[in-house]
């Protein structure tokens, strides 16, 4: 016997709080006892593989401490501790602070993610001590009897012991898209999920013995890789590393030659040249920005299962929405039950089953009884069937084969599937007849042109959802059970629109993100709902059954159409692929198992928290509060992270470029390096470190684009060259005036570089608002204090002598600033082109 699942258009994503379809039916074994469970726990036969959403504490500390640049800076800091003075070692304290900030922020993100993952974690049902219990995945033990229903994810490996039309999708493991019908004795693997029917299996491999479970854990780990942003930053850092080594060697040799009599001074100036080449804060700010983004989204009950999802959603230009559970709430209400006129045969006589048909049409209560029997066979009703139950009740007595229920008896049942679009129950009727009763999509169950379809379209155009109840003498195991179907009634349902759906769609429209509704429901009905929400293009819905077969035409239709109805799970996947083939970055939302294939193939998969275990397993983002309105926050957070990291990356790389250029100019001219480490520290802190931290966390709604490295280098390379050239020019002119006063020459160079670097900061900080102007002013004020407050100027060894050289430095910085403006405008124009 097979029990039906949801008889409507969509595969169910919501779980029902009632009994499991295989809970405690007569004759079923009661599962392990408490003593047997305790004995298996004591010997370690428990599913102890942790489902982690984040890196461990040890991994976080190691990733933030043991980096190649921390190693370089650490060696430099150790040398300064030997040669002194301590103020030249301030850069080491900055690195310690940066590392600590990185660890603290990632730990905050870990805590948030782990707590959210615990909330969203699947809770499988097992049979123990004769009762059905819901437990954590880590509490499953060897030989446990695990129950399965539609949408459940298989948590551990096992052997099927009970099956009622149990169909398992193993595509995530094998790549085979077709569900596999399971019988008792068949094997099930963790990572697969149920698409039809119900069943139970005995756990044969738990914990780390289940290889597929290890793969699933590995696939769901929180990760910082596989994103254009991090790939681009890593490429830049690798290049800098190769550039840094020969430059540093040349700088060491030149400074020892120039300052041969004072090797300590040579070492200090050599370190002052090497340290600024390292963009150590860029990696830190990237991690901090992502981590803070995770925490912010966590406060909105949004679980980011893969960190690059924040970046990916920021790049999205197309959002594919599943109507049910996304634009509409889970609940529905039956607003009408319409009995249909009997359709006579061609000779004017009624069909062979006319006596019962006459009785059905004469008494709508019989239709309600049949619906109650069908509902009684569904232990996990989702919103459509729940609405039927709320309206007409459920006849639990009819769920057992041969059991009486007011004269009705269930002989066999066929579960709902997204491909079939209906479910059915073969019944022994009160008057002794036997027939199959089907409940599902009218346009699938009825032939084209049937008179009832006009009525269905009329209701669908109002945004109502319609199910057809029909009866046929054809058995359920026939090739076409819907053949010779006699339509008896229309069940008219009203979906509950989400109050925030219209506002969310307007947000996407304003952000130039195209929203497309891809649903299994009737196209007219979906279009009516989308039109009611104000979605542009919703007045021309397309029935997916009429989509062109040619790939090019298919992609053209996918690109220009806003609303699709009657879409099968495979077609959802194909629509996503077609949009991606046209260069679109696609996000897909869903909550049912019919959405899994599309969620998996989309650039970003977004699942609802109350959706099926399968959708949550493959999605990168889970909206635990089921609120579609959370998506704009996710998009905005992604754009903030990506846009701001790109913004501050320019600051760090300008510093790297001018540091390398200054080192090369010093090598070629055999001059002392213009700075001591303390000067580099104050310059980096005031023009890059502090401003970058604030800029990285500021709002930013600009949609992320590809070409991160190219755009960053467009400003960084010319900006660094201009800054380095201006600084060395002012330094050389000051040395020509008084070559013996190295402190004054260094002070002029520091002033010039600070002014040019502040101009770069002013460019990067645009567009201005009050706090950005205040930030720039504060940094300028801080540097003024360093120059004018005696103990600070002594500490940082800065002393401007006379007026000519400082004003020459200011003039050179002004010219450099104008060149930066011209360069920035040219590069910006090229970027826009």
Q: Catalytic positions, please?
A: 322
DSSP characters for 434-447?
EEEEEEE-HHHHS-
Coil, strand, or helix at residue 578? helix
| Interstrand relation of 604-608 and 586-590 (parallel, antiparallel or unpaired) | parallel
Neighbouring-strand partners of residue 153: 193
CB-CB contact of 703 with 314 (8 Å): yes
Which pair of structure tokens corresponds to residue 671? 């001059």
Backbone φ, ψ for residue 389 (5° rounding): -60, -45
The Cα–Cα gap between 416 and 439 comes to 9
Coil, strand, or helix at residue 484? coil
Sequence-distant (6+) residues with CB within 8 A of 84 are 264
Picking from 360, 417, 384, 359, the residue whose alpha carbon sits closest to that of residue 491 is 384
> What is the SS3 assignment for 381-407?
CCHHHHHHHHHHCCCHHHHCECCCECC
| Interstrand relation of 157-169 and 180-181 (parallel, antiparallel or unpaired) | antiparallel
Tell me which long-range contacts 595-598 makes (C-beta under 8 A, separation of at least 24): 595/11, 595/13, 595/322, 595/569, 596/169, 596/171, 596/172, 596/193, 596/569, 597/171, 597/177, 597/569, 597/570, 597/572, 597/573, 598/320, 598/518, 598/569, 598/572, 598/573
**Sole residue written with tokens 């800065």:** 798
Picking from 801, 681, 670, 698, the residue whose alpha carbon sits closest to that of residue 745 is 801
> 327: which DSSP letter?
I
Range list of β-strands (E), 441-584: 465-472, 486-497, 514-518, 542-543, 563-565
Which H or E run includes 603? none
Picking from 425, 422, 661, the residue whose alpha carbon sits closest to that of residue 520 is 422
CA distances from 234 to 61, 230, 654, 788 (A): 19, 6, 17, 40
Backbone φ, ψ for residue 712 (5° rounding): -65, -45
Picking from 66, 46, 199, the residue whose alpha carbon sits closest to that of residue 135 is 46
Picking from 573, 741, 719, 734, the residue whose alpha carbon sits closest to that of residue 654 is 719
Backbone φ, ψ for residue 124 (5° rounding): -65, 155
CB-CB contact of 310 with 634 (8 Å): yes
Which pair of structure tokens corresponds to residue 363? 């008494």
Coil, strand, or helix at residue 607? strand
Q: Is 262 exposed, middle or buried (0-12, 13-18, 19+ CB in 10 A)?
A: exposed
Torsion 255-260-264-265 (CA) sign: negative
End-to-end CA distance of the chain, in Å? Answer: 65
Q: What angle do CA 175, 177, 182 make, to 5 degrees?
A: 100
Helix count and strand count (H, E) for the chain: 29, 21
């Amino acid at each position: 016997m097979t029990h039906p699942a949801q008889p409507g258009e969509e595969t169910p994503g919501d779980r029902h709080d009632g009994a499991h379809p295989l809970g405690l039916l007569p004759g079923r074994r009661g599962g392990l006892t408490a003593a047997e469970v305790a004995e298996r726990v004591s010997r370690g036969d428990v599913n102890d593989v942790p489902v982690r959403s984040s890196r461990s504490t040890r991994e976080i500390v190691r990733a933030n401490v043991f980096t190649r640049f921390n190693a370089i800076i650490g060696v430099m800091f150790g040398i300064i501790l030997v040669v002194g003075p301590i103020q030249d070692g301030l850069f080491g304290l900055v690195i310690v602070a940066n590392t600590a900030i990185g660890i603290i922020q990632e730990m905050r993100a870990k805590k948030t993610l782990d707590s959210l993952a615990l909330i969203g974690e699947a809770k499988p049902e097992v049979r123990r001590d004769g009762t059905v219990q819901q437990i954590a995945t880590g509490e499953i033990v060897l030989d446990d009897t695990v129950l399965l229903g539609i949408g459940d994810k298989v948590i551990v490996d096992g052997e099927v012991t009970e099956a009622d039309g149990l169909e398992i999708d193993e595509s995530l493991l094998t790549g085979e898209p077709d569900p596999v019908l399971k019988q008792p004795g068949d094997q099930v693997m963790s990572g697969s999920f149920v698409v039809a029917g119900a069943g139970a299996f005995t756990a044969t491999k738990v914990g780390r013995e289940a290889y597929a479970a290890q793969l699933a854990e590995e696939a769901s780990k929180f990760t910082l890789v596989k994103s254009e942003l991090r790939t681009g930053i890593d490429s830049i850092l690798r290049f800098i590393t190769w550039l840094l080594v020969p430059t540093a060697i040349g700088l060491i040799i030149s400074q020892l030659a120039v300052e041969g009599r004072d090797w300590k001074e040579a070492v200090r100036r050599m370190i002052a040249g090497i340290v600024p080449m390292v963009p150590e804060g860029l990696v830190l700010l990237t991690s901090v920005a992502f981590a803070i983004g995770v925490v912010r989204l966590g406060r909105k009950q949004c679980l980011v299962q893969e960190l690059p999802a924040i970046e990916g959603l920021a790049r999205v230009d197309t959002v594919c929405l599943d109507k049910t559970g996304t634009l509409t709430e889970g609940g529905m209400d039956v607003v009408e039950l319409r009995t249909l006129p009997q359709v006579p045969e061609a000779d004017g006589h009624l069909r062979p089953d006319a006596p019962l048909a006459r009785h059905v049409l004469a008494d709508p209560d019989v239709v309600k009884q049949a619906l109650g029997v069908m509902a009684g066979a569904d232990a996990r009703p989702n919103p459509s069937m729940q609405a039927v139950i709320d309206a007409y009740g459920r006849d639990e007595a009819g769920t057992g084969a041969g059991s009486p229920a007011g004269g009705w008896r269930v002989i066999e049942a066929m579960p709902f599937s997204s491909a079939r679009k209906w479910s059915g129950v073969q019944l022994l009727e009160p008057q002794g007849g036997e027939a199959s009763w089907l409940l599902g999509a009218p346009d699938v169950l009825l032939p084209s042109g049937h008179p009832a379809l006009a009525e269905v379209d009329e209701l669908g155009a109002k945004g109502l959802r319609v199910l057809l109840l029909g009866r046929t003498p054809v058995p359920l195991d026939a090739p076409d059970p819907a053949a010779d179907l006699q339509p008896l009634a229309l069940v008219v349902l009203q979906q509950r629109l989400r109050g925030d759906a219209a506002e969310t769609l307007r947000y996407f429209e304003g952000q130039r993100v195209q929203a497309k509704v891809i649903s299994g429901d009737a196209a007219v009905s979906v279009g009516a709902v989308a039109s009611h929400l104000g979605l542009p293009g919703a007045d021309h819905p397309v029935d997916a059954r009429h989509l062109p077969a040619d790939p090019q035409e298919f992609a053209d239709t996918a690109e220009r159409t806003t609303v699709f109805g009657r879409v099968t799970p495979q077609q959802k996947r194909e629509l996503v692929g077609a949009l991606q083939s046209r260069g679109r970055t696609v996000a897909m939302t869903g909550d049912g198992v019919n959405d899994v294939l599309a969620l998996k193939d989309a650039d970003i998969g977004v699942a609802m928290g109350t959706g099926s275990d399968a959708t949550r397993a493959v999605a990168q983002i889970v909206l635990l509060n089921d609120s579609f309105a959370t998506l704009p926050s996710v998009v905005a957070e992604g754009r903030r992270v990506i846009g701001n990291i790109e913004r501050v990356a320019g600051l760090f790389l300008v510093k790297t470029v001018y540091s390398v250029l200054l080192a090369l100019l010093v090598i070629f001219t055999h001059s002392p390096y213009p700075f001591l480490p303390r000067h580099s520290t104050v310059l980096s802190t005031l023009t890059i470190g502090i401003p970058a931290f604030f800029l990285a966390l500021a709002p930013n709604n600009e949609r992320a684009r590809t070409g991160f490295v190219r755009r960053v280098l467009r400003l960084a390379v010319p900006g660094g060259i201009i800054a380095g050239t201006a600084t060395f020019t002012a330094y050389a002119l000051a040395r020509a005036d008084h070559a013996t006063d190295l402190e004054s020459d260094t002070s002029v160079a520091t002033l010039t570089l600070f002014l040019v670097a502040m101009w770069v900061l002013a460019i990067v900080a645009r567009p201005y608002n009050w706090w950005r102007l205040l930030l720039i002013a504060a940094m300028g004020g801080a540097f003024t204090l360093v120059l004018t407050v005696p103990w600070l100027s002594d500490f940082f060894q800065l002393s401007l002598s006379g007026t000519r050289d400082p004003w020459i430095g200011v003039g050179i910085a002004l010219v450099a600033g104008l060149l930066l403006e011209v360069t920035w405008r040219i590069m910006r124009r090229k970027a826009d082109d």
